[in-house]
């Protein structure tokens, strides 16, 4: 009896499944037939076809909805440019917003690097678009790429103290090469010129002059080279689709989160935002709408954040930023290879490592003496240290001469000292503008015999006027000198690994998990 009951049950399930498949096949056939009829004009339709459309009104409605959705998706993929007069008006509005911003955060995508002959992904001629069409993506030598006008415009905004942080989805390293310090940069998908040792605590980082991802892939990040300290296999910093980026540098999710909280204006350049939209803390979605930062988007295609933007500019990034910087009255500097930090901070390959790569190297500027660079690199490698734990130049004495403080101002002994000020108030010096006034209000050194601070990195001192290195994170701003006075060695301590309060995970899963715990 039990076997008979089971057989009957299975038979009923089988017949129900067959019936469902039959109904589904009939509906699919009806949808195809109605779609074919709707493609004809009303004049060419027969009486029988007209009766089918009348009897299947619900199917006709579904076919029309599908067709509208298909057209909408196709329209979103099209690249649209604003008319010149409209573009100029929008650029003026964007320049006004940037000038009023107290904390500007910029989110960039592949669109800002297309002018450097690096293809984007979702554009009409992008990598993924061509792959979907079955076309060849071609060969692109990224070693020939240089920072574009947009990269240098962002560097100018940083120098003007307007730009506070850049969140980049690009792996080309052009933001870092343009001169933006790494503390103000989050390369959330990694950097193709950076490989790290995850075994060292804190982790060590190696800059290279070539693409380190030649032998790496998804879930396989070994580059084939070894750490100079612990002999562990070095790994690239790239975050592939579906992976989690947990490196404190160059990914720097902590810096991106802090910048998003403090930002009052967010500018998105050349990004479809289909990935960044998944990270809600970048847009402060937990705040009320009126308390969120103002959003401005520059992109040729549609983005999912267009409805939330104060202004959407359909234009090329270089053209838009050129107009905006002109309205702001800021000059966009030309890219200079001699001031590219990658050539100074990169670790050269030893003779035993030459076989580990076949990628073309970046062309070094002629002003850099290769012999001196090789001596610095060999010295680092012999001592078994990464570049962030060793002095970046051999002769700091020449640089310290330029760091001398301003002499005591001529009014240092005047009666206003009784007011408790070592300098006159600005209203007593109406002939001095703030630009000329503030350099004179520095307090002179009381102890002449005090040793002058020595720069941690001569490159940053010469090009940025910074006593600390802007491209390798240090534990403190003050460095430790060891050894005798004649042979002093500057040791730069690296940061301990940053423990993120919330692990971003993939598409913000860690953030949502944290929100559930709070509730």
Which residues belong to the active site?
Answer: 189
Report the helix count and the strand count for the chain, using DSSP H and E: 15, 12
Q: How far apart are CA 444 and CA 433, in angstroms?
A: 21
Structure tokens at 238: 């790239």
Contacts of 511 (CB under 8 A, 6+ apart): 279, 280, 281, 502, 504, 505
Residue 297's beta-bridge partner residues?
Answer: 268, 312
299 neighbors 328 (Cβ within 8 angstroms): no
Q: How far apart are CA 452 and CA 404, in angstroms?
A: 8
CA dihedral 476, 178, 281, 505 (to 10 degrees): -80
The DSSP call for residue 220 is B
Q: Where are the alpha helices (DSSP H) in 173-227?
A: 174-178
Q: How far apart are CA 507 and CA 343, in angstroms?
A: 35
Contacts of 280 (CB under 8 A, 6+ apart): 286, 508, 511
Q: Please tell me whether residue 472 adopts helix, strand or coil conformation.
A: coil
Q: Please tell me whether residue 186 adopts helix, strand or coil conformation.
A: strand
Structure tokens at 170: 């690009």
The DSSP call for residue 234 is E
Q: How far apart are CA 477 and CA 215, in angstroms?
A: 37
Q: Residue 138's Cα: distance from chain center in Å?
A: 25
The closest of 409, 244, 267 to 325, measured between CA atoms, is 267
Contacts of 347 (CB under 8 A, 6+ apart): 206, 207, 208, 377, 380, 381, 386, 387
Structure tokens at 258: 């802090």
Q: What is the rounded radius of gyration, in angstroms, for the C-alpha atoms of the chain?
A: 30
């Amino acid at each position: 009896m039990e076997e008979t009951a089971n057989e009957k049950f299975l038979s009923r399930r089988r017949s129900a499944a067959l019936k469902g498949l039959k109904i589904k096949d009939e509906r699919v056939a009806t949808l195809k037939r109605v779609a074919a009829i709707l493609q004809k004009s009303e004049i060419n339709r027969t009486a029988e076809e007209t009766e089918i459309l009348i009897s299947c009104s619900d199917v006709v409605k579904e076919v029309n909805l599908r067709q509208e959705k298909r057209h909408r998706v196709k329209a979103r993929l099209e690249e649209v440019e604003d008319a010149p007069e409209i573009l100029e008006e929008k650029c003026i509005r964007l320049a006004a917003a940037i000038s009023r911003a107290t904390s500007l955060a910029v989110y960039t995508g592949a669109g800002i690097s297309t002018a450097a002959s690096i293809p984007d992904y979702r554009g009409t001629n992008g990598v993924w678009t061509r792959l979907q069409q079955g076309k060849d993506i071609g060969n692109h030598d990224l070693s020939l790429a240089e920072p574009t006008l947009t990269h240098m415009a962002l560097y100018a905004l940083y120098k003007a103290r307007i730009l506070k942080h850049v969140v980049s989805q690009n792996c080309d390293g052009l933001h870092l090469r343009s001169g933006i310090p790494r503390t103000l940069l989050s390369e959330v998908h990694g950097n193709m010129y950076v490989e790290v040792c995850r075994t060292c605590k804190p982790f060590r980082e190696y800059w290279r002059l070539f693409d380190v991802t030649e032998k790496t892939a998804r879930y396989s990040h070994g580059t084939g080279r070894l750490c100079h300290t612990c002999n562990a296999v070095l790994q690239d910093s790239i975050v592939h689709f579906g992976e989690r980026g947990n490196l404190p540098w160059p990914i720097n999710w902590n810096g991106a989160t802090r910048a998003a909280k403090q930002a009052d204006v967010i500018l998105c350049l050349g990004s479809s935002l289909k990935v960044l939209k998944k990270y809600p803390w970048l847009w402060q979605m937990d705040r009320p709408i009126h308390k969120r930062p103002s959003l401005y988007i520059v992109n040729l295609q549609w983005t999912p954040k267009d409805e939330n933007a104060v202004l959407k500019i359909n234009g090329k990034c270089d053209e838009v930023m050129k107009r905006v910087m002109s309205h702001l009255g800021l000059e966009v500097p030309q890219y200079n290879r001699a001031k590219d930090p990658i050539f100074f901070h990169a670790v050269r390959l030893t003779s035993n490592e030459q076989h580990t790569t076949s990628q073309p190297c970046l062309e070094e500027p002629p002003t850099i003496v290769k012999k001196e660079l090789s001596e610095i690199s060999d010295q680092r490698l012999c001592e078994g240290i990464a570049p962030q734990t060793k002095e970046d130049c051999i002769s700091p004495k020449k640089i310290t001469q330029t760091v001398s403080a301003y002499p005591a101002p001529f009014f240092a002994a005047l009666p206003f000292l009784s007011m408790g000020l070592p300098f006159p108030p600005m209203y007593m010096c109406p002939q001095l503008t703030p630009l000329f006034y503030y350099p004179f209000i520095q307090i002179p050194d009381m102890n002449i015999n005090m040793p002058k601070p020595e720069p941690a990195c001569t490159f940053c001192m010469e090009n940025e006027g910074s006593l600390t290195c802007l491209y390798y994170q240090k534990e403190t701003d003050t460095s430790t000198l060891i050894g005798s006075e004649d042979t002093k060695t500057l040791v730069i301590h690296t940061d301990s690994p940053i423990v993120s309060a919330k692990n971003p995970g993939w598409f913000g899963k860690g953030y949502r998990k944290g929100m559930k715990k709070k509730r």
